[in-house]
Amino acid sequence: MIAGGTVPTIAPEIVFNESLNIDALCFSEGELPFVDLLKSDDISEVIREHQSWLSYSDFIKGKTVKAKLISELNDIPPVVYSLIDMSQYTVGTSVMHNIEEDNPPFIMISSRGCPFSCTFCCIASKQGKKMRFYTAERFLADVDDLVVNHNMKRLWISDDQFLIDKKRAIDILTGLAKYNIDIQFPNGLSIRFFDEDVIKAFKFANVKTVILALESGSERVLKELMNKPVDLEHTKKVVKMLRDVKICVIATIIYGMPYETAENRKECRDYIIDTGFDWIWAYTASPLKGSKLFDICVENDFIKQEDFLENNSSIFTGIINAPGVNPEKISKEVYQLNLDVNFVNNFSYKNGDYDRAKKLFEQIVLKYPDHAFGYYFLSKTLKKIPHTPLSEISESMNKYFEIIHTDKVWYDHAKHFQLCTDKHSEC
């Protein structure tokens, strides 16, 4: 049995220790190493001698592996989806994604690599810093096959740097427009490459939601701790331009970088609210193997071995214990940031866009039926929409009270944000 992918690449010791039936792991990309394996008369010899294959015995001996990357992505044969049972491949849904959609998204990439060196990221260690691309024509041909022959309704393009070649990105978006499918970029998009032409192309392709890889609203954190190439003033302009063409804007946020301060986190929170994102996804800093952040944490004893092994890819529970960062406190702050920005200070609600706010909160309670804040702010929003039946308003508020009075954690969150906790008072 063989395996490959992110975890085998960045943490082979975890795979070998937990999967005793694994004979070998492939490091980084698998196209060329698999061809070498399939063409061989002696598989054991290939695994032993190949730069990208690692057996358990060679792992114990300390064999060093490296990637064998394919330079021309167009050389990769198209996937024959008729041979695949797509029902076995599912992905999670989130706010802004249609959670009632029967057709799951097809996940594709149009490029590989990343030339940047963000501290928290391990992409360059897996795919290299040099960018490699499918041509727009080849990528669109693959899309056409999925739409025509496999009834694709939703497409998730999971590139790390989709926009880095502006002309190619616009050509792809322009070509996608005719299919009238739901298009998402779940990995987030680099803000620096947005301009009016790019935003027009997103609008033309009927992209309804854009996820911006912001990560922080603190200048110091971005430059000194993350090495993240984001211009905060440019970001504000991009958000406004996206909102002007009715594209919903999500930002990704990371809390808990070593040496981050409480003041930095406050700067980030204030920037988010001032800029006016429709939604944020806030996470804890995760020291992924292959990232500079992991090296920093190991060199300074900021993480415990047992915590790393149990939470290697966790982005919801802090494990970094460093100057300015307490893991338990950071985990709590991240969740409170989500509640603060997405609910208490929701941009759409505060600015009178109650129809959009209603849609957001409805999706939350559909996906998380025990989300107290979802029901509370749905009720408050419904109250603002003319002709909403009182029964609907009361139903949501009653559900909120039911949750906070049976779940102490939600009750504490309600008290923290000074929400109404007395069912008999005016809320």
* DSSP-assigned letters across all residues of 224-256: III-----HHHHHHHHHHHHHTT-EEEEEEEE-
Other Cβ atoms within 10 Å of 400 Cβ, number: 28
Contact, 299 vs 127, CB < 8 A?
no
Q: pLDDT category, 314, cuts 50, 70, 90?
A: low
Q: pLDDT category, 20, cuts 50, 70, 90?
A: confident
Q: Cα–Cα–Cα angle for 94, 126, 46, nearest 5°? A: 125
Q: Which of 74, 3, 63, 71 is nearest to 34 (CA)?
A: 3
* Residues 6 or more apart whose Cβ sits within 8 Å of residue 68: 28, 29, 32, 33, 36, 50, 51, 52
Antiparallel, parallel or unpaired: β 248-255 and 53-55: unpaired
Lowest mean pLDDT among 100-104, 170-174, 363-367, 422-426: 100-104
Contact, 271 vs 219, CB < 8 A?
no
Measure the CA–CA gap between 271 and 284, rounded to whole angstroms: 18
At 296 the pLDDT is 95
Q: pLDDT category, 98, cuts 50, 70, 90?
A: very low
At 99 the pLDDT is 42
Sheet of strand 248-255, all strands in order from the earlier edge strand to the far edge: 209-215, 248-255, 279-284
Compute the mean pLDDT over every residue in the chain, rounded to the nearest whole number: 92
Q: Cα–Cα–Cα angle for 159, 65, 186, nearest 5°? A: 15
At 395 the pLDDT is 97
Measure the CA–CA gap between 143 and 138, rounded to whole angstroms: 9
What is the per-residue pLDDT across 385-409, written as a single tens digit (0 to 9) for each?
999 999 999 999 999 999 999 999 9
Which runs of consecutive H residues, i.e. helices, occur in 216-351?
Answer: 219-220, 232-244, 262-275, 292-299, 305-310, 327-339, 347-350
Q: Cα–Cα–Cα angle for 133, 134, 140, nearest 5°? A: 145
Share of the chain above pLDDT 70, in %: 95
Q: pLDDT category, 10, cuts 50, 70, 90?
A: confident
Asked if the model's pLDDT at residue 163 lies above 70, the reply is yes
Contact, 402 vs 372, CB < 8 A?
no
Measure the CA–CA gap between 216 and 231, rounded to whole angstroms: 11
Measure the CA–CA gap between 365 and 350, rounded to whole angstroms: 20
Q: Cα–Cα–Cα angle for 179, 185, 188, nearest 5°? A: 160
Q: Which amino acid is at 241?
A: M
Q: pLDDT category, 100, cuts 50, 70, 90?
A: very low
Q: How many CA atoms lie within 13 A of 124 on its CB side?
A: 12
- Tokens for 384? 């603002």
Measure the CA–CA gap between 26 and 145, rounded to whole angstroms: 29
- Tallying the residues shown for the chain, one arrives at 427
Instruction: Please give the average per-residue pLDDT across 21-34, as a whole number.
Output: 93
Q: pLDDT category, 383, cuts 50, 70, 90?
A: very high
**Domains, the chain:** 2-61 (no CATH), 73-345 (3.80.30.20), 351-427 (1.25.40)
Instruction: Please give the average per-residue pLDDT across 55-83, as a whole number.
Output: 93
Asked if the model's pLDDT at residue 6 lies above 90, the reply is no
End-to-end Cα distance, the chain: 59
Cβ-count burial of 26 within 10 angstroms (0-12 exposed, 13-18 middle, 19+ buried)? buried
Instruction: Please give the average per-residue pLDDT across 183-208, as a whole number.
Output: 96
Other Cβ atoms within 10 Å of 202 Cβ, number: 24
Contact, 117 vs 179, CB < 8 A?
no
Which secondary-structure segment (H or E) carries 26? strand 24-26
Asked if the model's pLDDT at residue 11 lies above 80, the reply is yes
Residue 325: strand, helix, or coil: strand
DSSP symbol at 104: P
Measure the CA–CA gap between 237 and 276, rounded to whole angstroms: 11
